[in-house]
Amino acid sequence: MNDTAVSPSRSKTLDILSSSPVSGTHAALGDEVTVHLHSQGIPLFVMPVSKRLKSNFEAFHMWLIDHEEAIEKLLLEFGAVRFRGFPVNGSEQFRDLMSHYPAAAMGYKGGGGPRAAVSGRVMEATRTDKDRYIQLHHEMCYQRQWPLKLAFYSNVVPSDGGGATTIADIRRYEAKIPQRILDEVRKRGVLYSRNFRDGREPTEGWTSQFLNMHRPWQEAFFTEDKAEVEAACEAGGLEWHWLDDGSLQTEARNSGFVTHPVLGTRHWFNQISNQTALPQGDRLWHNTLTAEDLRQGKRYPNEPHFGDGGKIPAEDVELLRKLEDEVLVDEPYVPGEIMMLDNVLCVHGRTPYKGQRDTLIQLLGTGTSE
């Protein structure tokens, strides 16, 4: 395993065949594919060698179903598996390809990022502005229910080499977090305070960045009906109240850790580093307000604190981000590629990019925080 930090800027697509093949996987996956490990430890790459898996979508779909158990074991071992070189064209094929997995019970109701539905349970991966850097995070871990697995599909890859879905092995990451930070979060938990604006209110004079960060509740909960929003909050373990400006304020407390539902191991599971606002540094973070927003007194729509309401020290958040960079894998997509992640064992983010990017996501299975 390579311990060298990787710059989260631009990187070239890995020459997979020069990386290490993984012994012992052939028996489980058969001889129609080759399996290689990224030089940084994850992801595991699966690539077709048979003509039918290279060219026939239905054959690939059946192969995935036939090897679901083996893929499950690989996800539990590596946390991230990428299927490269298989014939998957467009959102509907991506939807059909994953149809043997159950959808996440809560969908993306109450989700933190700008994202729209595309086809059935297929959604855009993110609409976060393309110049913004998305820190590594576990999907929806700020709610009681969250997806067990994520499937990404890269339909259009930016030409500048950016826009990768970055990933990291949570076991490597949490081993680097100082004990005092782990203990503090374990003792105090995490409180997520969030505000969703009313999409019917005028937004004249608002910066595009603030509009991008501050989602309307109608969009975040996929409904115009307040009663449905309240039911989703109840299911998601969110306390809520409606403010005079028509916005929805929610609060959720959890432990900041989770027990893996299959392995029984305990892991760091929060969005402290992703959602805490820090002053703008050399990166444009997805949750950093512009100077104009700050002048206008705008509030951050996502604010994590310790569970007792105490402020999380900015220097600790900076350290968490620095440690993430040390374990980050920034491997650009190849068009048509599928990446499956275990949402506890593997965190994900996104690098900035220029030009066009079309990455889609499906949230699969349902995990519940205790």
User: Which residues form the interface with Fe ion (CB under 5 A)?
Assistant: 139
CA-nearest of 330, 299, 305, 329 to 317 is 305
Closest distance to Fe ion from the beta carbon of 140 (Å):
8
Q: Alpha-carbon dihedral of residues 42, 43, 44, 49, nearest 10 degrees?
A: -140
> Measured in whole angstroms, how far is the alpha carbon of residue 117 from the centre of its chain?
16
Q: Which residues contact 182 (CB under 8 A, 6 or more apart)?
A: 174, 268
Residues 100 and 86: their CA atoms lie apart, in Å, by 18
Judged by beta carbon, residue 147 or residue 256, the one nearer Fe ion is 147
Closest distance to Fe ion from the beta carbon of 137 (Å):
6
Judged by beta carbon, residue 158 or residue 349, the one nearer Fe ion is 349
Closest distance to Fe ion from the beta carbon of 113 (Å):
6
Judged by beta carbon, residue 139 or residue 337, the one nearer Fe ion is 139
Handedness of CA 209, 212, 216, 220 (dihedral sign): negative
Closest distance to Fe ion from the beta carbon of 101 (Å):
18
Judged by beta carbon, residue 166 or residue 193, the one nearer Fe ion is 166
Judged by beta carbon, residue 85 or residue 110, the one nearer Fe ion is 110
Closest distance to Fe ion from the beta carbon of 50 (Å):
33
Residues 17 and 80: their CA atoms lie apart, in Å, by 18
- Residue in this structure with the two tokens 């109701």, named with its chain if needed: 109
Instruction: Report which residue's Cβ sits closest to Fe ion.
Output: 139
* Rg from Cα positions in the chain: 20
Judged by beta carbon, residue 167 or residue 289, the one nearer Fe ion is 167
Report in angstroms the alpha-carbon separations of 289 from 15, 115, 286, 301. 38, 19, 9, 10
- Residue in this structure with the two tokens 């019917």, named with its chain if needed: 200
Closest distance to Fe ion from the beta carbon of 276 (Å):
16
Judged by beta carbon, residue 84 or residue 137, the one nearer Fe ion is 137
Judged by beta carbon, residue 35 or residue 213, the one nearer Fe ion is 213
Closest distance to Fe ion from the beta carbon of 126 (Å):
7
8 Å CB contact between 172 and 327: yes
Question: Cα-flanking dihedrals φ and ψ of residue 360, to 5°?
Answer: -115, 160
Closest distance to Fe ion from the beta carbon of 139 (Å):
5
- Residue in this structure with the two tokens 């989703």, named with its chain if needed: 232
8 Å CB contact between 60 and 88: yes
